[in-house]
Amino acid sequence: QVRVVESGGGLVQAGGSLRLSCAASGSIYRIHTMDWYRQVPGKQRELVATVTSDGSTNYADSQKGRFTISRDNAKNTAYLQMDSLRQEDTAVYYCRFLIQSRGSMPAGPAMYWGQGTQVTVSS
């Protein structure tokens, strides 16, 4: 079965940096889009950044200029480099991959979520 796992979260002071990683494993044929989301308790999960299969990226306005999403297709891994972190960035961060697995063909691709990693930014 395909699995997606995040890592790299932790505690950091405001103005600091973290890099999150999300790696997929299993019988993967192709990963189409790679996304990062975040969620604060009591609030909706929100999209942070997206990178498509052709390398195009998109960011929420509050993250643009501070966060960078990238992908390493050979490693089935996405990264989120977070700089100039603010207290408002504190959240659980989730990755979501659109994956075509070998076992699911000829069916279409499916969304796979990671378990989440906590990012806490202190003042």
Tell me what pLDDT residue 63 has: 77
Write the pLDDT tens digit of every residue in 16-61.
999 999 999 999 999 999 999 999 999 999 999 999 999 999 998 8
Residue 4 confidence class, pLDDT cut points 50, 70, 90: very high
- In this prediction, residue 80 carries a pLDDT of 97
- pLDDT of 58: 93
What stretches of the chain adopt beta strand conformation (E)?
Answer: 3-7, 10-13, 18-25, 28-39, 46-51, 57-59, 67-72, 77-82, 91-101, 110-113, 117-122
Q: What's the half-sphere exposure (Cβ side, CA atoms, 13 Å) at 80?
A: 31
Q: Is 73 helix (H, G, I), strand (E, B) or coil?
A: helix
For residue 68, what pLDDT is reported?
96
The gap from C-alpha 65 to its chain's centroid, in whole angstroms, comes to: 17
Vertex 35, ends 93 and 30: CA angle to 5°? 130
DSSP state for residue 110 in the 8-state scheme: E
Q: Residues 40, 90: contact at Cβ < 8 Å?
A: yes
pLDDT tens by residue, 62-121: 777 899 999 999 999 999 999 999 999 999 999 999 999 987 667 889 999 999 999 999
